[in-house]
Amino acid sequence: MGRLFAYGLHLGSVKKHAEAIRDFFTDEQMPDDYKFHVIENSKDRAEKIFKRMVAIYPKDRRIHELYATILIVLGKKRTLREEYERAMRLIPEHADVLNNYAVQLQDEIGGGERAEELYLRAIELEPDNPVIKCNYGNMLAENRRYEEALVQFRKAHALMPEDKQLMNDIRTAERELAKRLSSSKAKPARKGERPGKKEKRTEG
């Protein structure tokens, strides 16, 4: 498959080798490191090829994700957002697409609200997907919404109880929440404010 991919790059004939290229990159037995190595050594050509691959397989989630991966490697954030928006229009019921787009958006200025909307939709589509719950929980924790984060972390923990990183996330959120509660009890309430009232925060 690697040779076929290289041959496809050489000829620039995506239609002729589209299936071989798709199978190479979506083969679960093929190490991801090797796939990324191929992309890294053919960045410009890879971008052009996968842009055309999306046109050939417009509803293939894997192709959209591979194209997005290339755009991430190239640092093309604007094109990446356009690709995810297009993917959501073409395959709106794929939770993975929503989740991965949310991951990219959550660290962008002003992207928090949109990311949360995507996470919630992804969870609605796949309520038993612990990865989405973990990602959403991490975004909430980063925004100091520890109580809400713990809800997601604990739901994810029920689905994958052996995950050590998740247990660390739960302990960290519990510790930060305890600090906040302790601090709010120690401070006297200002006039017109109830003790322990949450501060308003901006998204992003």
Q: pLDDT digit string (tens) for 106-156?
A: 888 788 899 999 999 999 999 999 999 999 999 999 999 999 999 999 999
Across 76-83, average pLDDT: 84
Asked if residue 148 is part of any domain, the answer here is no
In order of 24, 82, 136, 166, the CA distances from 85 in angstroms are: 25, 5, 19, 30
Confidence of residue 85 (pLDDT cuts 50, 70, 90): confident
Confidence of residue 200 (pLDDT cuts 50, 70, 90): very low
Asked if residue 111 is part of any domain, the answer here is no
End-to-end CA distance of the chain: 42
Asked if residue 201 is part of any domain, the answer here is no
Domain total in the chain: 1
At residue 168, the pLDDT reads 95
In order of 175, 178, 179, 187, 195, the CA distances from 182 in angstroms are: 11, 6, 5, 9, 11
Asked if residue 169 is part of any domain, the answer here is no
**Spatial separation of the C-alpha atoms in residues 49 and 181, rounded to whole Å:** 54
CB atoms within 10 A of CB 121: 17
Asked if residue 184 is part of any domain, the answer here is no
Asked if residue 129 is part of any domain, the answer here is no
Would you say 69 and 39 are in contact if contact means Cβ atoms under 8 Å apart?
Answer: yes
In this structure, what CATH number is given to the domain that contains residue 15?
1.25.40
Task: Say if residue 3's pLDDT is above 50.
Answer: no
Q: What is the pTM of this model?
A: 0.67
Asked if residue 29 is part of any domain, the answer here is yes
At residue 11, the pLDDT reads 39
Asked if residue 71 is part of any domain, the answer here is yes
For 166, the token pair is 């998740």
Q: Which domain holds residue 35?
A: 1-92
